[in-house]
Structure 1
């Protein structure tokens, strides 16, 4: 019994020792494998995009022993060990076409400057941004029609189209721009709002940033610019939703038109570059600054000229301004038939075939008509439609009408 117990103890000790040695041996082998695996993984990522030559197995060569230091041997991945990297499919991508564009001249730097009191001005503000970016001109057929009609009927006046947002025009391919370029008296120009306002009574106010809190930013930028333009240059200001029907050169040096018996409008105006006109333009800028309202659409446009006219004419009555021109001391106020013979509530009459005769009769004595783009811009009008507007466009902006295509 004593011999068997001692043997049992020795056997147990031997078993424990064998287990310990076996565990150490296994853990040491695991460490070696993990290092090699990490090395291969690292090397694989470094060499997966190398040439085919690097992916082949090199032939074994015998090297003679020399005293020279051994060159580092490049490691290669054996294809059997490393999984091949799948090739990514090649997709054909369309290259973006570069549109050939010409930068617009800055109205303040261009050689051909507006002649004081002898120019017609349009403003385009729909691309306006606080931080200027490269933008291409965008004109609708109706906007192009307004510009062409002014140039057609006033060949001795320069027609300036000032873009507050667009900086470039397409050098070829735009049919509307091609149509307008056939007139020698049309000038397409860029303006920087801050530089344009420099030296005017509203320069400091503009830098304060109130304008950019507007619910109607583009219309209110347009309101601001029309009064700055009249202050700087004088001359005619026209909205881009008009059609000029007659020559404007013989019209008074200072005028606007009444929209109704309650207010004046600012879509068609003229002010002289000096004297009364310059004084009125200055008063308009100061009134805009003092009464600016970011939440009311018409407060900073029609509202401005209405308030200034009331002071100039010493009356709140639009009717008295129209019927007794002496009250306004050289400032002419036209009745609504001159520019707004079709009231904004009746704007559809320009586009409805059954209203063509009555509409043409009502505007027969108007030098300029206003088609109320705020409401009419979404009306899809075909060039073949027989209505008052297409009839007027064929006659007063023929090149634009021909370039417009199916819709106008």
Structure 2
């Protein structure tokens, strides 16, 4: 009887079992604080300036009721672009920089296509703090006025700002997240950009050396951005910057006089549209139309990259196996992501 009473008392007054604590995601390393720093002139950079916040509203399982995390998130096409750069440049580091404090689940399987991408040893994920990242650059003081953050196109303009800061800090190659690499750029000269039309240069693929003319160009770009920043115009602070700086460096407003004229442009190579932007933005749909397969593959056959013009194409679903040009190019140049993409890319 005493034994039974003791068991009942113990069961009644035993401390309640603690609920399992929720796993706190792990913050990505800050690019400036990481031990593995970009190799100057031997790194490729992508930027993600959108934030994907997940707010936790529960009060159980050990979770704070108001905690929120910007969880690592990439689209399939972004992952495809990153893989294409990593696959074609095995001796380069490929840094994907997130402009928001970004977290990864520690023991939770990511999307299959992200897992496939991270199978490349030369892909590095880092975050950055914008104000700290700009410290020590020619645009540090301007940033403090806050004009960048009141832009009508803030996500895009932060990307414009950060690409030039990154090239000033490290040199190397910058690429937009919607650029598919078709062949290695390693044999190209260290300083270049490409025209995206008959009148404008593009800022979606650029390479600056970490010293010399490349570093001088990056500084000029930052100073131009400060002087000509326009929060109302979408392209003023990206393509507009490199176009104006190149006009100054090459001492001409005529694009035809800049193309493939490194002597005139003081060692800066400016390529014709067919090199990085073989399909012009008005024809973006050709990448996704099976009927345009032959024509589009012909246009991209000698190109180094293909720009998918995400502003126009982001809502265009592409079925895996559709037989379109993008389907064929992705299968060849981002095979792991393509295989893991599921039904659509």
**3-state SS of 1:106 partner:** coil
Residue in 2 that maps onto 1:230: 167
Q: Please report the RMSD computed on the Cα atoms of aligned residues, expressed in angstroms.
A: 1.6
TM-score (normalizing by structure 2): 0.87
Q: Within 5 Å, which residues of 2 pair with 1:34-113?
A: 98=22, 101-113=25-37
Give the match for residue 206 of structure 1.
Answer: 143
User: How far apart, CA to CA, are the structure 1 residues paired with 2:95 and 2:203?
Assistant: 18
- The Cα shift of 1:166 comes to 4.5
Q: For 1:159, which of 94, 97, 102 is the aligned residue?
A: 94
Deviation, structure 1 residue 97: 9.7
| 1:141 and 1:176 in contact (8 A); partners too | yes
Match of 1:173 among 95, 101, 109: 109
Does structure 2 retain, via aligned residues, the 8 Å contact 1:255–1:332? yes
Instruction: Determine which structure has greater relative contact order: mean sequence separation of CA pairs < 8 Å that are 6+ residues apart, divided by chain length.
Output: 2
Return closer, same or farther for 1:370/1:99 CA change in 2, 3 Å cut-off.
farther
Residues 1:298 and 2:229 aligned together:
no
Radius of gyration: which is bigger?
1
Q: Deviations over 1:281-336 (max 9, x none)?
A: 00000000000000000000000000000010000011110053321010000000
1:258, 1:336 → 2: CA distance? 5
Give the equivalent residue in structure 1 for 2:267: 330
TM alignment of 1:135-154, pairs within 5 A: 135-154=70-89
What residue ranges of structure 2 are gaps of 5+ in the alignment?
1-18, 54-67
- Residues 148, 166 of structure 1: alpha-carbon distance in 2 compared, 3 angstrom cutoff: farther
Q: Which residue of 1 aligns with 2:207?
A: 270
Q: How far is 1:384 from its partner?
A: 2.5
Q: Which stretch shows the higher mean deviation, 364-373 or 323-332?
A: 323-332
Corresponding residue number in structure 2 for 1:347: 284
Partner SS for 2:264? helix
Q: Does the CA contact (< 8 Å) of 2:201 and 2:242 recur in 1?
A: yes
The aligned residue for residue 343 of structure 2 is 406
In structure 1, the residue matched to 2:14 is none
Asked if 1 retains the 8 angstrom alpha-carbon contact of 2:194 and 2:205, the reply is yes
Over 3 Å counting, the alpha-carbon distance change for 1:402 and 1:330 in structure 2 is same
Structure 2: how far apart are the matches of 1:272 and 1:205? 24
Partners of 1:179 and 1:232 lie apart in 2 by: 30
User: Which runs of 5 or more residues in structure 1 are unaligned?
Assistant: 1-94
Q: 1:197 aligned to 2:134?
A: yes
CA shift at 1:134, angstroms? 2.9
Residue matched to 1:126: 50
Shift of 1:176: 2.4
Report the count of equivalent residues.
311
CA distance in 2, matches of 1:179, 1:255: 31
- 1:366 corresponds to which of 297, 303, 321: 303
Q: Alpha carbons of 1:98 and 1:377: their partners in 2 closer, same or farther (altered >3 Å)?
A: farther
Match of 1:286 in 2: 223
Distance 1:354 1:170 in 2: 42
CA-CA distance at 1:261 after TM superposition: 1.9
Runs of 4+ that moved beyond 4 A:
95-100
Equivalent-residue separation in structure 2 for 1:360 and 1:99 (angstroms): 47
Whole-Å separation in 1 of the counterparts to 2:166 and 2:204? 14
Match of 2:13 in 1: none
SS of the residue aligned with 2:224?
A: helix
